[in-house]
């Protein structure tokens, strides 16, 4: 569409330039002809005035009347008419009012005729007009003298023409020199009438027959050259700047069209962008409401797309997005619009649906198409898509509402395992509003010190000695009461609040631990998000320096998810912390990927068995086998094994029998904000013998 528009515009511009050039050429030709006529008429006028003066001076001179004037034999019919009284005013030739006002064309006459033509025939004075004859007549048109081919009879024939007679009458009445136009008799000729004045009265009139054939030909040649040259210069003067202007206009059109295109399309995939998608969605909602039809917005997000960028690079990720866009276009109907919202997020606006099943079929088709293997930049790439669906105008009456609801449904699809689709439900919006309120309240709680720490004791299972405490963050909400960590910690990780929260936990716990017995250790949990947003090593060093806690008393608990995000960077950080003297413990062991290579690659000093295994200990043979194996693995690797969530004596006995090193749980002590002064004071519990 862009090329077609520009092509049509260019054709119109070129057509305009051609028309302008032709118009200029035609104007030049007509102006050249007008100039030629003017120049020849001007030359005839000047020549006639000059000759009339010379002839009249000779004819009125004292003495015999000469018969040879201007190289021509003059026949005198009435000599007395050329003699006047001595007291009478001297006869004179009138000068026209415009004789001295040459103007542009008069100047051209002086330049061309006097320079070029005079050199071709020097005997013709300054004039290119040739004299073929003349007749002198009185006011009654009676011939007084004649010369050459201008006989009285020929003059009478010429005066029979209205244009010639009008020119003669004008010369007499206006007492000025008149020149007829080209007589059109097969040769370029004119008749000039020059009245001779005696005082203010016309005494006689000279009628000169002027032959301008040679002058006309040469004048036309010269003026044609000048006209063509001038026309060419004019055309170039118009067309060259016009062509430059047209090119600049075309470049501006291209730039403007490109700007408009980029304003409405994604630069990578060429799909409509968020702005155009929203405009289309508003129109689709209006059409659906007007015709009583169902429509749907499908919000798509690629699963694990970040892994592709991290492992294969952004160029491969961009190529994958282009392939995804192509598959989306190939699996929707012609009336459906596919757009890219940004990153790995896409949307489809599907109109004219009979029921919600139409959206279901479309979502399944897209999940299947996007889940197939990709060949991108020489790599086999596997990904899938999660889809959220909002129906309109049922779920919402505005584009923003439908997009928000589809986004909520997408979030639920992600939570439910990915590579699937979910429809929007009103409960999703309520949950989102609750989550956003918790996020705002959590930000306020950090400023208002509404968070606090509980400390759960850890014991050596063999000796029964208290070894330390694990710091656990708690939040008492002013209206909702106790908010579980499983609720607010994910919010803190997703919103970036985990950084200030984690720093507060570590500083508060380390400060309190300095008041404990020196042999007790402190365990603090680190979120995987902290390794992304913080310099964990610098944070630990800073807190230890500020609080004065010995590094050997601090344990940092991490999960296997931390090790998966960027192995080299995390390994370097953990190695330097280990060299500092801080112990590294792997928390929730067995619930993640449980790669045994982590135990050899990372400086892990402790493994904590997740409480989900301890809960069924003694009732599930499979669980007992797993726990005993983990304990045996720790003994082989010389790693301390800690069991979490020990709540019964039987669980403690089995763990002690297998050789577990440490335990913590409600059987030994609940998390409390204050640390007791002695082991015996911990809820009155005694260790299993």
For the segment(s) 435-681, the CATH number from 3.30.479.10, 3.40.50.2300, 3.20.20.450, 1.10.600.10 is 3.20.20.450
Instruction: Say what the pLDDT of residue 35 is.
Output: 66
Q: Are 563 and 598 in contact (CB under 8 A)?
A: yes
Q: Are 631 and 659 in contact (CB under 8 A)?
A: yes
Question: Mean pLDDT of all residues in the chain?
Answer: 82
Return all residues near 167 (Cβ < 8 A) that are at least 6 apart. Answer: 178, 179, 180, 191, 193
Length, in residues, of the chain: 689
pLDDT beyond 50 at 607: yes
Q: Is 0.85 topped by the overall pTM?
A: no
Per-residue pLDDT tens for 250-278?
788 888 888 888 888 999 999 999 999 99
Per-residue pLDDT tens for 612-634?
888 888 788 888 888 998 898 88
- Rounded to 5°, angle at Cα 414 from 408 and 416: 105
Q: How many of the other CB atoms lie within 10 Å of CB of 427? A: 10
Of 459-468, 593-602, 638-647, 658-667, the least confident? 593-602
Q: Which residue has the higher pLDDT, 641 or 58?
A: 641
Q: Which of 321, 316, 285 is nearest to 301 (CA)?
A: 321
pLDDT beyond 70 at 1: no
pLDDT band (50, 70, 90) for residue 580: very high
- Only one residue has tokens 């009461």, namely 481
pLDDT band (50, 70, 90) for residue 583: very high
pLDDT beyond 80 at 100: no
- Give dist(CA 622, CA 628) in Å, integer: 10
Instruction: Say what the pLDDT of residue 38 is.
Output: 76
590: which DSSP letter? T
Does domain 274-424 fall under CATH 3.30.70.270? My reply is yes
Per-residue pLDDT tens for 51-97?
888 888 888 877 666 666 776 778 888 787 776 655 556 667 775 53
Instruction: Say what the pLDDT of residue 682 is.
Output: 53
Q: Which residue has the higher pLDDT, 188 or 649?
A: 649
Q: Which of 120, 56, 112, 117 is nearest to 84 (CA)?
A: 56
Of 40-49, 314-323, 661-670, the least confident? 40-49
Q: Which residue has the higher pLDDT, 593 or 565?
A: 565
Per-residue pLDDT tens for 344-368?
999 999 999 988 899 999 999 999 9
Per-residue pLDDT tens for 449-487?
889 999 999 999 988 899 999 999 999 888 888 889 988
Give the Å distances, CA to CA, from 626 to 485, 619, 623, 664, 682. Answer: 27, 13, 5, 19, 30
Determine phi and psi for 510, rounding to 5 degrees: -65, -40
Show the tokens assigned to 59: 């004819």
Instruction: Say what the pLDDT of residue 594 is.
Output: 53
Instruction: Say what the pLDDT of residue 256 is.
Output: 84
Q: Which of 626, 685, 687 is nearest to 658 (CA)?
A: 626
pLDDT band (50, 70, 90) for residue 2: very low
Instruction: Say what the pLDDT of residue 244 is.
Output: 79
Per-residue pLDDT tens for 103-156?
444 545 454 444 444 444 444 455 778 888 899 998 888 899 888 888 898 889
Q: Are 413 and 387 in contact (CB under 8 A)?
A: yes
Average pLDDT over residues 321-350: 94
Of 179-183, 379-383, 554-558, the least confident? 179-183
For 437, the 3-state DSSP assignment is helix
With a pLDDT cut of 90, the percent of the chain lying above it is 36
Of 34-48, 373-387, 575-589, the least confident? 34-48
With a pLDDT cut of 70, the percent of the chain lying above it is 80
Instruction: Say what the pLDDT of residue 520 is.
Output: 94
Q: Are 28 and 228 in contact (CB under 8 A)?
A: yes
**Residue extent(s) of CATH 3.20.20.450 domains in the chain:** 435-681
Looking only at the bridges linking them, the beta strands covering 384-392 and 451-460 are: unpaired
Radius of gyration of the chain (CA): 56
- Give dist(CA 8, CA 15) in Å, integer: 11
E strands in 478-614:
481-483, 521-525, 554-558, 583-589, 606-609
pLDDT band (50, 70, 90) for residue 213: confident
- Give dist(CA 161, CA 184) in Å, integer: 12
Q: How many of the other CB atoms lie within 10 Å of CB of 404? A: 19
Of 105-114, 270-279, 288-297, 328-337, the least confident? 105-114
Sign of the dihedral through C-alpha 217, 223, 226, 228: negative
Per-residue pLDDT tens for 392-417?
887 567 899 899 999 999 988 998 88
Show the tokens assigned to 526: 């680190």
Instruction: Say what the pLDDT of residue 348 is.
Output: 96
- Burial (CB count <10 Å: 0-12, 13-18, 19+), residue 225: exposed
Return all residues near 35 (Cβ < 8 A) that are at least 6 apart. Answer: 105, 108, 223, 227
């Amino acid at each position: 569409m862009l090329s077609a528009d520009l092509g049509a515009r260019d054709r119109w511009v070129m057509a305009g330039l051609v028309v302008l050039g032709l118009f200029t050429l035609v104007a030049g030709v007509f102006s050249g002809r007008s100039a030629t006529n003017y120049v020849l008429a001007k030359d005839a006028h000047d020549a006639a005035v000059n000759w009339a003066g010379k002839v009249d001076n000779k004819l009125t001179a004292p003495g015999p009347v000469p018969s040879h004037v201007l190289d021509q034999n003059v026949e005198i019919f009435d000599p007395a008419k050329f003699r006047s009284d001595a007291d009478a005013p001297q006869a004179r030739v009138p000068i026209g009012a415009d004789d001295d006002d040459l103007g542009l064309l008069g100047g051209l006459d002086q330049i061309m005729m006097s320079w070029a033509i005079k050199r071709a025939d020097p005997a013709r004075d300054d004039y290119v007009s040739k004299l073929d004859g003349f007749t002198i007549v009185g006011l009654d048109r009676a011939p007084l003298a004649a010369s050459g081919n201008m006989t009285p009879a020929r003059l009478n024939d010429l005066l029979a023409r209205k244009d010639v007679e009008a020119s003669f009458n004008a010369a007499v009445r206006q007492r000025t020199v008149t020149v007829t136009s080209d007589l059109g008799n097969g040769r370029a000729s004119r008749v000039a009438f020059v009245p001779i004045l005696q005082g203010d009265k016309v005494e006689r009139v000279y009628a000169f027959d002027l032959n301008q054939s040679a002058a006309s030909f040469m004048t036309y040649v010269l003026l044609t050259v000048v006209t063509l040259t001038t026309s060419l210069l004019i055309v170039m003067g118009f067309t060259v700047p016009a062509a430059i202007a047209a090119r600049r206009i075309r470049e501006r059109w291209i730039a403007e069209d490109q700007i408009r295109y980029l304003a409405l399309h994604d630069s990578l995939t060429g799909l409509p962008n968020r702005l155009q998608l929203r405009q289309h969605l508003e129109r689709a909602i209006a059409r659906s409401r007007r015709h009583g039809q169902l429509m749907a917005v499908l919000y798509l997000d690629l699963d694990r797309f970040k892994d592709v960028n991290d492992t294969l690079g952004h160029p491969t990720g961009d190529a994958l997005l282009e392939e995804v866009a192509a598959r989306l276009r190939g699996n929707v109907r012609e009336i459906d619009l596919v757009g890219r919202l940004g990153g790995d997020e896409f949307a489809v606006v599907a109109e004219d649906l009979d029921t919600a099943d139409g959206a279901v079929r479309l979502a399944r088709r897209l999940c299947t198409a996007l889940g197939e293997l990709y060949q991108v930049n020489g790599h086999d790439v596997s990904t899938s898509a999660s889809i959220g669906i909002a129906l309109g105008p049922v779920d919402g009456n505005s584009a923003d509402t439908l997009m928000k609801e589809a986004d909520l449904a997408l979030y639920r699809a992600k939570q439910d395992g990915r590579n699937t689709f979910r429809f929007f439900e009103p409960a999703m919006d309520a949950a989102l509003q609750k989550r956003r309120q918790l996020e705002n309240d959590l930000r306020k709680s950090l400023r208002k010190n509404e968070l606090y720490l509980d400390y759960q004791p850890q014991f050596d299972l063999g000796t029964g000695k208290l070894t330390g405490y694990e710091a656990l963050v708690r939040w008492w909400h002013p209206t909702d009461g106790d908010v579980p960590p499983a609720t607010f910690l994910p919010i803190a990780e997703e919103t970036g609040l985990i950084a200030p929260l984690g720093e507060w936990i570590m500083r508060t716990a380390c400060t309190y631990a300095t008041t404990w017995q020196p042999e007790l250790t402190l365990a603090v949990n680190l979120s995987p998000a902290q390794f992304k947003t913080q310099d964990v090593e610098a944070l630990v060093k800073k807190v230890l320096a500020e609080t004065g806690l010995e590094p050997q008393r601090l344990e940092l608990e991490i999960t296997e998810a931390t090790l998966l995000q960027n192995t080299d960077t995390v390994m370097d950080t953990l190695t330097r912390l280990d060299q500092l003297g801080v112990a590294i413990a792997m928390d929730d062991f067995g619930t993640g990927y449980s790669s045994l290579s982590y135990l050899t690659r990372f400086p892990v000093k402790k493994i904590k068995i997740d409480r989900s295994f301890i809960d069924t200990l003694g009732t599930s043979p499979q669980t007992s086998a797993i726990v005993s194996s983990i304990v045996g693995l720790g003994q082989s690797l010389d790693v301390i094994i800690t069991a979490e969530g020990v709540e019964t004596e039987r669980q403690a006995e089995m763990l002690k029998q297998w050789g577990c090193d440490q335990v913590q749980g409600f059987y030994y002590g609940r998390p409390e904000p204050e640390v007791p002064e002695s082991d015996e004071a911990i809820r009155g519990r005694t260790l299993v013998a």
